[in-house]
Amino acid sequence: NAGVTQTPKFQVLKTGQSMTLQCAQDMNHEYMSWYRQDPGMGLRLIHYSVGAGITDQGEVPNGYNVSRSTTEDFPLRLLSAAPSQTSVYFCASSSIITTGESGGYTFGSGTRLTVV
Amino acid sequence: LAKTTQPISMDSYEGQEVNITCSHNNIATNDYITWYQQFPSQGPRFIIQGYKTKVTNEVASLFIPADRKSSTLSLPRVSLSDTAVYYCLVGGNTGTASKLTFGTGTRLQVTL
Per residue in B24-68, pLDDT (tens digit) is: 998 888 888 889 999 988 999 999 988 888 999 999 999 999 999
Q: What is the pLDDT of residue B30?
A: 80
Integer Cα distance of A49 and A58 in angstroms? 10
Residues A60, A38: Cα–Cα separation, whole Å: 12
Say yes or no for a CB contact (<8 Å) between A105 and B104.
no
Task: Give percent of chain B with pLDDT exceeding 90.
Answer: 66
CA distance A16 to A79: 8
A94 chain-B contacts, CB cut-off 8 A: 97-98
- Looking at every residue in chain A, the average pLDDT score rounds to 91
Q: In this complex, which of B43, B92, B104 lies closest to A41 when CB atoms are compared?
A: B104
> Strands, E, within B39-111: which ranges?
45-50, 53-56, 61-64, 70-75, 84-91, 106-111
Query: How far is B103 from A42, CA to CA, in rounded Å?
Result: 5
pLDDT confidence of residue B19: 98
User: Average pLDDT of A75-87?
Assistant: 97
Provide, as residue numbers in chain A, all residues whose Cβ is less than 8 Å from the Cβ of B101. Answer: 45, 59
Q: What is the pLDDT of residues A11-40, one digit of tens each?
A: 999 999 999 999 999 999 888 999 999 987
Q: How far is B99 from chain A (nearest CA, A)?
A: 7
Residue B103: its pLDDT value, please? 79
pLDDT confidence tier of residue B95, bands split at 50, 70 and 90: very low
Element (H, E) at A46: strand A43-51
Do B43 and A109 make contact, defined as CB atoms within 8 angstroms? yes
Is the pLDDT confidence value at A101 over 50? no
Lowest mean pLDDT among A66-80, B62-76, B90-104: B90-104
Distance CA A65, CA B106 (A): 31
When CB atoms are compared, the residue of A31, A42, A104 closest to B102 is A42
A42 touches chain B (CB under 8 A): yes
Chain-chain contact of A58 with B92 (C-beta, under 8 angstroms): no
- Closest partner residue to A94 (CB to CB) among B43, B45, B97 is B97
Chain B residue numbers touching A4 (CB-CB < 8 A): 43
Res B104: pLDDT = 81
Position with higher pLDDT, B83 vs B33: B83
Determine, for residues B43 and A107 on separate chains, whether the beta-carbon distance falls below 8 Å. Answer: yes
